[in-house]
Every structure is written in C-alpha cells, then in structure tokens.
Amino acid sequence: MRIDLHAHSSASDGTDAPAGVVAAAGRAGLDVVALTDHDTTAGWSAAAAAVASAGVALVRGTEVSARSSGISIHLLSYLQDPQHPALVTELDRTRDARLHRAEAITERLAVDYPVTWDDVLGQAAGAVVVGRPHIADALVARGVVPDRDAAFARLLRADGPYHVPHYAPAAADAVRAIRAAGGVPVFAHPGADARGRVVADAVFDELADAGLAGLEVHHRDHGPEQVARLTGIAARLGLLVTGSSDYHGSGKANRLGENLTDPAVLAEIEAQGFLEVVRP
C-alpha cells in the first residue's frame, strides 16, 4: 500500500484544486493521500467527493502553523473534528495574520520591484489562505524571478529585508489544541535546516509531553544525517514515523509518492483520530 500523508491544494498554496490532488494521487499510483492545506480545512469536502472516481483513500488533515523559541514550525493535524473551537480559533487567527503579513511583505517589495497586492490576490484566486507562495507566484508572473524556489531563495527568505513575521501559537499549545479536537499531531519536516533554524532536541520532549504523536522523518528536505537523528528521537520518545511528499502541484518540485508512510502507522493514526479515513 502506497501512502503519502502530506499534500497541498489551491485552498492554500498548492496549484491543484482539492479534487485535483486526489486525482493526481491516483495517477501517481497512490492508495492513500492526505490533504493537509495550511491552517484550513476548506478543501476537505471537494477532495472527499473525488475519492470514489480516483480510487484513492483520503486522510483529511491540516498543516498548522506554530512557533517554538522564535522558530517557525509546522504540525500536521490528521483526522480532527473541523468544528472543534480549540483548534478553529487558532486557525482563524493564524489565517488572518498570514493575510496581513502577506500584504505587508508585498508593500515592502513594491518599493523595489514591480509587484502589487492585486497581483498577489490574482495569484491566490480561490485560496482560503494567502501567503508567501502567492507573492512568489506574483513575482514570477512579473518576471522578477524565474520560479517559486528562486523567489524564496532571493526575496522571501525569513532572514531577508522584506520578511515580516506573523502570529502563530506556541507549538506545545498547538499540539494540545489538535489533541483537544481529536486530531493526531505529527511534526512536519522537523529537520529541514535549509528552510531556517530547526528546534533543539529538547523541544521534541516538550511536544511529546503535550501529546505529539509522530515525526515526519522521510521528506525531501531531510538529508541522511537528519533522517538518522529524527529516527533516533522518534524511537526514544515512542513516536510514529511518517514519510510524505509535501506535494504542491506545479508550485514545487516535490512529487506525490516520493516518500511514503507504513500502513501500520496510518492504522495507528486512524485509531487515534476523531474522523475516519474516507475510502473509495
């Protein structure tokens, strides 16, 4: 069974519609795909409606923004109650903060480059969450950079002159909110040091104490040293180990199925979750 537990649609910063992610998963030979858009569940219904025709099971999830000691981290919440106020309140606040942050970054960029907020909104058409990837797409459309990767490497770096921070809950609080909503929290790409600083080993202990269920160990942003480090941390803390693509359609080079999760791990996630996997 081929299981990919991290993919994004146009409800956040992917380029495929939610149903298109499920269809693409079928074409990629997957048996199960998780839709985990940033800070929203808006794509769930459309994705679930595509399950029967695609022949691919769907894990409904969300990639939740959080922070730890000033470091931005992401938590994959699987199979949570989408109406539970503990998590909904945080997601609403974070989406609003992301929107205002994106507008502020665009204003800074516009001083030096031919890009406008209308350009960004045009790229984000249909998205519930507007963020830096849409700014990157606007820069590409204006010919400032050749692609998203170049935009993030040159202009949208977290340590760059155009960066603006945004609100996100403390990571341990986010883990507790996910658990309160019946979700299963997994730390997304926790060793992706090319994206910026990564948390110290002690943070994993803190998050495990708060209810963290697993680590996304197998991810294209993790080299062999990080895979070994994270595998050891997961074993020490009794955490699940997942593998995922972090698919964004044409927005990133990541391809569906390039990293996979063991079926026994998915079974444990479903056993812990409030919702069930949507199956064909």
pLDDT digits (tens, 9 = 90+) for 65-96: 999 988 999 999 999 999 999 999 999 999 99
The enclosing domain of 110 has a CATH number of 1.10.150.650
Whether residue 86 sits in one domain with residue 20: yes
Whether residue 104 sits in one domain with residue 17: no
Backbone angles phi, psi at 169, to 5 degrees: -70, 160
Compute the average pLDDT of residues 4-22.
96
Specify the pLDDT at position 257. 98
Specify the pLDDT at position 13. 92
- Answer whether residue 14 shows pLDDT above 90: yes
- Give a yes or no: residue 279 inside a domain: no
Q: With bands split at pLDDT 50, 70 and 90, how would you rate the model's confidence at 215?
A: very high
- Give a yes or no: residue 159 inside a domain: no
Specify the pLDDT at position 252. 86
Specify the pLDDT at position 169. 96
Compute the average pLDDT of residues 177-190.
98
| Percent above pLDDT 90 for the chain | 89
In sequence order, the 6+-apart residues with CB closer than 8 A to the CB of 260 are 2, 3, 4, 218, 243, 244
Distances 200 to 173, 191, 224, 234 between C-alpha atoms, Å? 18, 10, 18, 14
Specify the pLDDT at position 202. 94
The enclosing domain of 259 has a CATH number of 3.20.20.140
Compute the average pLDDT of residues 127-145.
94
Q: With bands split at pLDDT 50, 70 and 90, how would you rate the model's confidence at 129?
A: confident
Compute the average pLDDT of residues 212-241.
97
Whether residue 148 sits in one domain with residue 263: no
- Give a yes or no: residue 278 inside a domain: no
Number of domains in the chain: 2
Whether residue 148 sits in one domain with residue 78: no
Residue 258 per-residue DSSP state: S
- Give a yes or no: residue 238 inside a domain: yes
Cα(102)–Cα(100) distance, integer angstroms = 5
Q: With bands split at pLDDT 50, 70 and 90, how would you rate the model's confidence at 125?
A: confident
In sequence order, the 6+-apart residues with CB closer than 8 A to the CB of 198 are 71, 190, 191, 192
Last residue of a domain, one of 154, 176, 196: 154
Compute the average pLDDT of residues 248-257.
92
Whether residue 213 sits in one domain with residue 172: yes
Whether residue 191 sits in one domain with residue 241: yes
First to last CA, the chain: 14
Specify the pLDDT at position 244. 98
For residues 218 and 195, which has the higher predicted lDDT (pLDDT)? 218
Q: How many residues make up the chain in this entry? A: 280
Whether residue 179 sits in one domain with residue 82: yes
Q: With bands split at pLDDT 50, 70 and 90, how would you rate the model's confidence at 109?
A: very high
Whether residue 171 sits in one domain with residue 49: yes
Whether residue 173 sits in one domain with residue 114: no
Whether residue 54 sits in one domain with residue 125: no
- Give a yes or no: residue 160 inside a domain: no
Helix axes 85-110, 171-180, angle to 10 degrees: 140
- Give a yes or no: residue 230 inside a domain: yes
Whether residue 239 sits in one domain with residue 146: no
- Give a yes or no: residue 248 inside a domain: yes
Compute the average pLDDT of residues 4-16.
96
Compute the average pLDDT of residues 168-177.
97
Q: Give the H/E segment covering residue 272.
A: helix 263-272
Compute the average pLDDT of residues 229-258.
96
- Answer whether residue 194 shows pLDDT above 80: no
Handedness of CA 188, 192, 198, 204 (dihedral sign): positive
- Answer whether residue 196 shows pLDDT above 80: no
- Answer whether residue 117 shows pLDDT above 80: yes
- Give a yes or no: residue 161 inside a domain: no
Q: With bands split at pLDDT 50, 70 and 90, how would you rate the model's confidence at 50?
A: very high
Whether residue 133 sits in one domain with residue 68: no
The domain of 140 spans 99-154
Supply the mean pLDDT for the chain: 95
